[in-house]
Chains A and B, each alone.
Chain A
Amino acid sequence: MGVGRLYTAVAAGGFRRYATYRAATAAGVFTNTAFGIILVYTYLALWDEKPHLGGYDQAQAVTYVWLGQCLFATLAISGGGVEKDLMERIRTGAIAIDLYRPADLQLWWLSTDLGRSLFQLLGRGVIPFLVGAVFFPMALPVDAGTWAAFLVALLLAMLVSFGIRYLLALSVFWLLDGMGVSQVLAITGIFFSGMSLPLNVFPGAFGEVVRFLPWAAQLQVPADVLLGETGLTRAFAFQAAWAAALLTAGRLLQSAATRRVVVQGG
């Protein structure tokens, strides 16, 4: 049917748009590889000191590092996805035009972002992961089932990631400036997603809280699925619940924002 085709086309557009930045993509691959190497060494030292920290062995910790580098751009963990364009359009008022488009605003941006995610995964994420797999011992599953489950977890992670960024981007309707929001996004994204340290290493009650926040659905849960460290039902339910909650909240905030635009006269 037509609607499905429309959003597929929008997603393809997002894919192609990011595919045009060749030099930037190459630079990103280089950066993620460099940071991966630095992190792997520190993790190896950490797990050397304390084997089975957070329930991972060394190979699993190494895998976690490279998965993080692989998903960093894919899930726009520190920002830099379509929410950047969205904030700019809100700031300049160009968003008013989008509202007249015969398409759902949230679905439109979600499709674009999924297209972007897919490109970042293939163009930017895979190579650092492969480099890691070649030069460091990794714990990769051999059965197709785990990989399939990982892909499901990854798709859910993309939804959660978009959900978080969409909410924050919409706040620009009220804040009028995206600078602070972007910064909040970057700080929380890197720390609470577990980019610098796996969330299951976080100690005590703080660890409990952090592992319950939506950011945990971005890197920690897909990693645990890939490493076979979690039950699938539990993992998927956690991710799906956050995705549903965030996307619903996004819809509510969006209609409030739209009313605001209409009241202001566009």
Chain B
Amino acid sequence: MDAVASKPQDYKSELKPVWCPGCGDFSVLAAITRALAELGLEQRNVALVSGIGCSSRLPAYTSLYGFHAVHGRALPVASGLKLARPELTVLAAGGDGDGFSIGGNHFVHACRRNVDMTYIIMDNSVYGMTKGQASPTTEADWTGSKLTPEGPGLSPFRPLEMALSAGATFISRAFSGDPLEVTRQICAGIAHEGFSFIHVLSPCVTYRPEQKGWREFVHADFTEPYTDRREAFLRLLDDDGFTTGILYKSQTPPFQTRPKPVEPVSVLGDQFAI
């Protein structure tokens, strides 16, 4: 059991995903395993944390330490794990509903906190597990859901702008149909010291079949990561939501706790002595 795994297959479990044939998440799972193999990380030293939703089923399909938590809470679980066990490589993964709606507050504060971990959002602009409702990234006029027959009527959430303004130090976007790019970004995100946000456009072929056409829309125009927030913001103003590549990287030191292991527990009571 000492040998370091080196093949993507070694990072997969024997479980068969619950996803629909053609789901973009298969490629993301493959990209995660490929990235871990490329980096030569031992499974036992990597943890993958998720919330609830189609893509959040991902940890069980890996041979890593996984945590399939409750809806929206992947980031705090992952943050607690990383802060308590800084030597581990910690990944968090999930969907747009999990990360931007119910977990939206944690997303903002995880960007601010800049804990050294990598967050992969598989965005398909729909709640798949509950069978096709509008998510925060759904277009305002999408009428495909019985819950919002006239469309959600809200302006779509803009994840990259949000991440940038909240303080994420690594921001990128990829298309699941380009698994090599997803792999490259995951490798770069893991290597980055700080909170890495990877926005993956991952089509839902069941409730948003039109997303099969995303291949035609994506364009790899985030060519060189900005290190200046102002430039990154300006670039995002021209983003059509389909620009891929690494947008932004900064060298802000990651948040970490600084324990000072100096005293035995027995001395703590002294402060109460009369």
Same complex for A and B? Answer no
